[in-house]
Structure 1
Amino acid sequence: MSQNNPKKSRADIRRGRQFAKKKKGPFKRFIKIVLSLLVLLFLFGAGLFAYYASSAPKITRTALSSDNSTKIYDAGGKVISRLGSQNRDYVKSNKIPATLKQAVVSIEDRRFYKHHGVDPIRIVGAALSNLTGSSLGMQGGSTLTQQLVKLSVFSTAASDRTLKRKAQEAWLAIQVENHYSKAQILEFYINKVYMGNGVYGMQTGAEFYYNKTLNQLTLPQLALLAGMPQSPKYYNPYLYPKYATERRNQVLNAMVKNKTITSAQAQRAKNTSVKSGLTKNHTKTSGSAKTSRYVDSYLKQTLEELKAKGYKANSGLKVYTNLNMKAQKKLYNVANNDPSIAYPNKRFQVGATLVNVNNGQVMAMQGSRKTKVSFGLNRAVQTGRSSGSTAKPIMDYGPAIEYLKYPTYQP
């Protein structure tokens, strides 16, 4: 055995291993502690999520698809009123332009077709943006499906954005993704969002802002509509054209990034004024106060007849009436503003129905005068009083003249 290269004894080797174990021990323990904490944190989060999800409200197709306003037409085919909780024209997926779908997905949820309701990558990205103060992502942590759920069953108030609500939102979004296709979810969303000025859904928005259907709009117009739901007030092209232009261009940039349009197409759209094509004739309002005042009694009676047949105001019906607007305005003015009629006082009331004697169609109806109440007592049909002497020409005088040859000059 050489003295320059002595072999280590077993005791030396054993001591070396023990020293190595002691050296690595604290690091391994630290790793184990961290991993244990992560596992506990995960289990706690999963349990809390399950607890919150168990009390989540039910979400139905009716809630997702929204109310659809019923339109009432006069005898000339003009809309005189839109009934329902929200002013909305529902449009099916096959009637929605592909460009609008691409614009909505690009600005609201670029990974829409890749996730299943909740997008972990999006959540991490939004968290990093919040930490760094960056707004380059242009998107929050909620997916488009989560936004639909929020609009359908939850309050949109900032004060209600709690951890519990977020957990329920995520759970319901997963349920929605399991029951509906991506095309259906996008259809629900496009018809659900608020577009400002009392209109809901992008189809209704197109008719309000441009007096056109979605299929008739240009790329810059569709981009504007796609970006409006985030802030309908400040992206209103009538009130804030500067903000509306910035938002529209943001949507166009997102579409370029998502490779749905080219940079050249985006630039041409940006060169278009945001006011281009805007209409001054807003056909999709719920009806002016003046028009509503004229037709109040007629509308109330129409609603009563619809209810009697089992229909609701938000059934999306098209109801064609025999209302003659010219005659209705005349009747209203006779009851309220005619200086040739000396009414005793403002409390003096009237009830009148104008009927076409040739076919029995009700052309106009006035149920009150000098009242500020909408859908109040309709004295033309609701008083339940005896017709009195008004029936004499039909019940007495007419038959006497026709069958008894009673002369009209006799009292």
Structure 2
Amino acid sequence: MKWLVWERQNAWRLTVIGLALVAFFAYGVYDWLLADLPPVTAVELRAARPTTQILDRNGKLLYEVLDADAGKQYDLDLSRIPAACVQATIATEDSRFFYHPGVDPLAIARATWQNLSSGGVSSGASTLTQQLARNLLMDDDERYQTSYLRKLREAYLAFQLERHYNKDQLLALYLNQTYYGNFAFGIEAAAQIFFAKPAAQLSTAECALLAGLVQYPSGYNPLLDPEAAKGRQLTVLRLMKDAGYLTAAQVEETARQPLQYRSQLFNIQAPHFVMYVQDLLVQQLGVERLRAGGLRVYTTLDLDLQRQAEAAVRRRLAQLTCTGDAACD
């Protein structure tokens, strides 16, 4: 009987010791692998901020203070982004976005098989949420590493993001923060830079073009290589068909639509006045605050009246100098 009691006590002690060792090992792994990662709420601090806009008294844009290191960015509600842009992004970057918890086991299995078959890394398995985690929560040195350690840390952050934000919030964050090339962060900036229009006016063809830029912004830049961009757009349209967003007939019709590229990156109205206002902002707020972005500066200038005044001056100068339509006999 005493032997049986001793045996039970010994088993209990071994169980406790085993659990303690497991807990100690788990804590050691966590401390080594994950402890230094930032909280997922840091995405709101690390996200690219909207550029500072200098406006006339009626809200018309005069100039954007664009930091070349930060790029151009605007925040849009998901409801203001065309459905075609959302669908093109999901079909291209993460077709199972609404069905996984941040990491997609099926995509991992598929990528593993493809990589083993090719004898190298020919396919990735990063979900849209993992891309957010990598781009907004990892520093530059780690972000571009190709290691299993980085993938594990990225997957952990993706799980945490999915716990903290719902799918629509993550999708809006992705579409507002992803880099499309040519200084454009987010779909609104990309629409303005490549098509000189707001994102709300983008067609399905234009949405497919922009969604295709994310994978390789410099290589698919339509302002530099329109043929490569067109080829990538056709790939996106095929993926949209595979995902059930478009029919074969719609793909053919959309593919035939011409793409008119009109960049609107650096644009300034009333330049002397704008430079005066910018100097005042530097004096009052400092250079760093101005570059940090997020300001909407309303000025006393009426842009329409300014243009009328400038046109009147040009006409009078032409009359005085006998040039243009006012040539003297």
Say which of 310, 321, 329 aligns to 2:299.
Answer: 321
Query: Which of 267, 274, 278 pairs up with 2:261?
Result: 278
3-state DSSP of counterpart to 2:191: helix
Paired residues of 2:53 and 2:296 also in contact (CA < 8 A): yes
1:67 to 44, 49, 64: 49
Distance 1:47 1:185, change over 3 A: same
TM-score (norm 2): 0.73
Does structure 2 conserve the Cα–Cα contact (< 8 Å) formed by 1:234 and 1:243?
yes
Partner residue in 2 for 1:54: 35
- For the structure 1 residues 64 and 254, does the alpha-carbon distance in structure 2 shift closer, same or farther, using more than 3 Å as the test? farther
Hey, what's the Cα distance between the residues in 2 that align with 1:124 and 1:45? Answer: 26
* Equivalent runs, 1:355-394 vs 2, <5 Å: none
Classify the secondary structure of the residue corresponding to 1:81: strand
Range moving further from structure 2, 312-321 or 84-93: 312-321
Find the aligned partners of 1:269 and 1:190 in 2 and give their Cα distance: 22
1:81 Cα deviation after fit: 2.9
Aligned-pair distance for 1:163? 2.8
Equivalent AA in structure 2 for residue 111 of structure 1: R
Which among 280, 286, 299 is matched to residue 301 of structure 1?
280
Q: 1:81-137, CA deviations, whole angstroms, 9 ceiling, x for partnerless residues?
A: 3256331111111111111111111110111111001111111111112222399xx
Output one character per residue of 1:317-372: Cα deviation in whole Å (capped at 9) or x when no partner: 32122369989xx9xxxxxxxxxxxxxxxxxxxxxxxxxxxxxxxxxxxxxxxxxx
Out of 117, 139, 160, which is 1:132 matched to?
117
Match in the other structure for 1:226: 211
Cα distance in 2, alignment partners of residues 223 and 55 from structure 1: 38
Equivalent position of 2:245 in the other structure? 260
Q: Deviations over 1:210-231 (max 9, x none)?
A: 1112221111110011111111
* Aligned partners of 2:84 and 2:203 also within 8 Å: no
* Aligned 1:1-400 pairs, distance under 5 A: 48=29, 51-59=32-40, 60-63=42-45, 65-74=47-56, 77-83=60-66, 85-133=70-118, 140-155=124-139, 159-273=144-258, 276-279=259-262, 282-285=263-266, 295-296=274-275, 298-306=277-285, 313-314=291-292, 316-322=294-300
Paired residue secondary structure (1:147): helix
- SS of equivalent to 2:115: helix
> Which protein is richer in helix relative to its size?
2
Number of aligned residues: 276
Gaps of 5+ in 2: 1-24, 311-329
The normalised TM-score by structure 1 is 0.59
Which structure is higher in RCO with an 8 Å CA cutoff and minimum separation 6? 2
Distance 1:54 1:155, change over 3 A: closer
SS in 2 for 1:191: helix
Q: Gaps spanning 5+ residues in structure 1: where?
A: 1-43, 331-411
> Quick one: structure 1 residues 324 and 264, their matched pair in 2 at CA, closer, same or farther if it must change by over 3 Å?
closer
User: For 1:299, what is the secondary structure of its paired residue?
Assistant: helix
Q: Deviations over 1:11-35 (max 9, x none)?
A: xxxxxxxxxxxxxxxxxxxxxxxxx
